[in-house]
Homo-oligomer: A and B are copies of this chain.
Amino acid sequence: MLSSLKRLLIGRPLKSNELGEQKLGILKALAILSSDALSSVAYGTEQILIVLATISVVAFWYSIPIAVGVLFLLAALILSYRQIIYSYPHGGGAYVVSKENIGEKAGLIAGGSLLVDYILTVAVSVTAGTDAITSAFPGLHAHSVFIACILVIFITILNLRGITESASILAYPVYLFVLALFILIGVGLFKIVTGDITPTAQHASIGAPVQGITLFLLLRAFASGCSALTGVEAISNAIPTFKDPAPKNAAKTLVLMGSLLALLFSGITFLAYYYGIAPKADETVVSQIAKETFGRNYLYFFVQGTTALILVLAANTGYSAFPLLAFALAKDKYMPRMFTIRGDRLGYSNGIVSLGVASIILIIASKGQTEHLIPLYAVGVFIPFTLSQTGMIIKWLRQKPAGWVAKLTSNLIGALITLTVLIIFFVTKLGQVWFVFLFLPLIVIMFLRIKSHYEAVGEQLRIQPEDEAIPVQGNVIIVPVAGITKVVENSINYAKSLTDQIFAVYVSFDREDEKRFEEKWQKWQPDVRLVTLQSHYRSILQPLSKFIDTVEHKASENNYRVTVLIPQFITKKNWHNILHNQSSLLIRAYLIFKKKVIVATLPYHFKK
């Protein structure tokens, strides 16, 4: 039942050699890996304007130079990541780059902040998308947490189905969103050029003097604008999922994504400035631009609808990146081994499911109010940005390949800019991001402890040439018996076929019963030793455990192995199980975990 439900939701299992078919072309990769970055356009400009609005509307012209700054930063990031892609064709996220070039801990800091960041991506994007939906249908507002959780579950299932099939569904909204914004910007610019527009508010001309503007405020506005750059790193983590030649395709996708992002971001920012749009609490900047350009007609709803969709789908970036990063960390033993296993549909199911569960917990814990998580989220991106650029610098300095000066320069610029942005974040928004100082050390400690456990295990499992194993000299089998039945007969026969050192153990609660049983046993199995144990507290486990200890102690001196043989009733119908004391299960678990004996389970299948 359960497995056919799983089949229905996830699809038939795929063979390992079907993996190649699942790989991504450029256009599909663009759809899957860039929805996070592109969706940032929906709020990037707005974040800048919100900060500037604290001075005056005259200050809005600063959005243009700030946007230029962001674009410059974007260009630097794209160039740097292009180099990372070619240098690390097997998937060079910030984790790999930092670990190899700077050191273990830098890698773990980058990896840890990215892991948390992907969870934040999912939670923040899905709740933002849900807000867009509930704004359109206010009746649903009370259920927004529930809707967000359903969306996360839906995306999780899509991802469990496998990469390509998810892509087919997820590609269209991204294309439509890009199309919608191009139409919006195109029509807007056309109307401006033809003078066919009368903005409701007038824009201040660029360079107009602004009362009370400070560097701190401009930096804060810039930092806010940088939230438009989250998601840029996704492609460099995901190179192994590209079609061959993977690095080349990945680099092309990256440049394509960067160009789209730049065009859309500058278009929206320019229109917002030219229309003199101020951020409002109850309407997004993009919505205002679209209304100004089209009026509230079907094109307006097209823009709004695709925006809502792409916000929800931005979550999908997390689903592409998180399992791959978890795989990389798990392969290096910093995370549980289960993250290295491919599921039925060849995705890393454990990573996908963990991400889904973690983001649902985050959504429920924050009651769907994830806005205040956005700065945390941006910081979580810029830490690995900075670390990976720094790693590349060290790499070029060490290896000095042909043309290394140019490469070094581009990464140096990248590192300096991202470091600056990071410092700006900590200086201007400390109250919202201090939490990073708490959880990053914790997560790194966890990684290190996991690794040290795996290493200790590996050490213990390795066969050393010097300590030759002493062959087992013989076997003692202990058979707890509860009566004279077919099950006991089976057990004794099995034990007899393995060794002649057999103890049948009977636990009795009173003397009379003990005597009676001893006599019956003597008649039935005179050649098998019967040991009877008294239990004053009506517990079977306690006297049995004591007896096993005694036998085990003596056996190990002679290098004998002790096996405890426990029968298990297998009932015909499930409900019958509650009719049998499940003491054998308890005894088995106790013996396996507490004693150094082998526990053999002999099944007895009931026929009715």
Looking at A341, A493, A498, A608, the one whose CB has the most chain B CB atoms below 10 A away is A498
- Are A602 and B607 interface neighbours, CB within 8 A? no
- Interface segment, one of A123-131, A366-374, A456-464: A456-464
Does A580 sit within 8 A of B, measured CB to CB? yes
Does A600 sit within 8 A of B, measured CB to CB? yes
Chain B residues near A498 (CB, 8 Å)? 475, 498-499
Q: Across the two chains, which residue of chain B brings its CB closest to A333?
A: B579
Least distance between A601 CB and chain B CB atoms (Å): 5
Looking at A461, A462, A597, the one whose CB has the most chain B CB atoms below 10 A away is A461
- Are A581 and B338 interface neighbours, CB within 8 A? yes
- Are B469 and A497 interface neighbours, CB within 8 A? no
- Are A579 and B484 interface neighbours, CB within 8 A? no
Using known A-B contacts A490-B469, A497-B473, determine if residue A598 contacts B600 with beta carbons closer than 8 Å: yes
CA distance A182 to B469 in the complex (A): 83
CA distance A606 to B593 in the complex (A): 11
Residue interface bits A1-27, CB-to-B below 8 A is 1, else 0: 000000000000111110000000000
- Are B600 and A596 interface neighbours, CB within 8 A? no
Least distance between A564 CB and chain B CB atoms (Å): 10
Using known A-B contacts A15-B537, A537-B13, determine if residue A593 contacts B579 with beta carbons closer than 8 Å: no
- Are B471 and A576 interface neighbours, CB within 8 A? no
- Are B536 and A16 interface neighbours, CB within 8 A? yes
- Are B561 and A457 interface neighbours, CB within 8 A? no
Does A194 sit within 8 A of B, measured CB to CB? no
CA distance A599 to B209 in the complex (A): 83
Does A90 sit within 8 A of B, measured CB to CB? no
Chain B residues near A16 (CB, 8 Å)? 509-510, 536-538
- Are A462 and B450 interface neighbours, CB within 8 A? no
Chain B residues near A593 (CB, 8 Å)? 570, 603
Residue interface bits A547-586, CB-to-B below 8 A is 1, else 0: 0000000000000010100001110000010111100000
- Are A487 and B472 interface neighbours, CB within 8 A? no
- Are B486 and A472 interface neighbours, CB within 8 A? no
CA distance A536 to B570 in the complex (A): 31
Using known A-B contacts A472-B494, A486-B461, A494-B472, determine if residue A538 contacts B341 with beta carbons closer than 8 Å: yes
Does A605 sit within 8 A of B, measured CB to CB? yes
Which listed residue, B341, B344, B601, touches A599 by the CB 8 Å rule?
A: B601
Residue interface bits A325-356, CB-to-B below 8 A is 1, else 0: 00000000000111001101000000000000
Using known A-B contacts A471-B497, A493-B472, A576-B453, determine if residue A460 contacts B608 with beta carbons closer than 8 Å: yes
CA distance A450 to B475 in the complex (A): 40
- Are B603 and A596 interface neighbours, CB within 8 A? yes
- Are A579 and B469 interface neighbours, CB within 8 A? no
- Are A15 and B536 interface neighbours, CB within 8 A? yes
How would you classify the secondary structure of chain A's contact residues: helix, strand, loop or mixed? Answer: mixed
Number of A residues with CB within 8 Å of any CB on chain B: 70
CA distance A579 to B568 in the complex (A): 29
- Are B510 and A486 interface neighbours, CB within 8 A? no
- Are B561 and A497 interface neighbours, CB within 8 A? yes
Q: Across the two chains, which residue of chain B brings its CB closest to A12?
A: B537
Chain B residues near A537 (CB, 8 Å)? 13-16, 344
- Are B337 and A579 interface neighbours, CB within 8 A? yes
Chain B residues near A463 (CB, 8 Å)? 484-486, 489
Which listed residue, B337, B453, B578, touches A336 by the CB 8 Å rule?
A: B578
Which listed residue, B598, B601, B603, touches A602 by the CB 8 Å rule?
A: B598
Chain B residues near A13 (CB, 8 Å)? 537, 539
Which listed residue, B14, B457, B493, B599, touches A600 by the CB 8 Å rule?
A: B599
- Are B342 and A538 interface neighbours, CB within 8 A? yes
Chain B residues near A15 (CB, 8 Å)? 536-537
Least distance between A489 CB and chain B CB atoms (Å): 5
Does A442 sit within 8 A of B, measured CB to CB? no
Does A474 sit within 8 A of B, measured CB to CB? yes
Which listed residue, B456, B489, B605, touches A608 by the CB 8 Å rule?
A: B456
- Are A596 and B605 interface neighbours, CB within 8 A? yes
CA distance A463 to B484 in the complex (A): 8
Does A592 sit within 8 A of B, measured CB to CB? yes
Does A302 sit within 8 A of B, measured CB to CB? no
Q: Across the two chains, which residue of chain B brings its CB closest to A454?
A: B579
CA distance A598 to B564 in the complex (A): 12
Residue interface bits A467-496, CB-to-B below 8 A is 1, else 0: 001011111000000001111011001101
- Further 17 A-B residue pairs, CB within 8 A, beyond A13-B539, A453-B579, A461-B485: A337-B580, A450-B579, A453-B576, A457-B606, A460-B607, A460-B608, A461-B487, A463-B486, A471-B496, A471-B497, A472-B494, A475-B497, A498-B498, A592-B603, A598-B602, A599-B600, A600-B600
Query: 6 interchain pairs (CB within 8 A)?
Result: A338-B581, A471-B493, A563-B600, A593-B603, A598-B602, A600-B600
- Please provide the 5 A-B residue pairs with the shortest distance between their CB atoms, ordered closest to farther: A472-B497, A461-B485, A600-B600, A15-B536, A13-B537
Chain A residues within 8 Å of B, Cβ to Cβ: 13-17, 336-338, 341-342, 344, 450, 453-454, 456-457, 460-463, 469, 471-475, 484-487, 489-490, 493-494, 496-499, 509-510, 536-539, 561, 563, 568-570, 576, 578-581, 588, 592-593, 595-603, 605-608
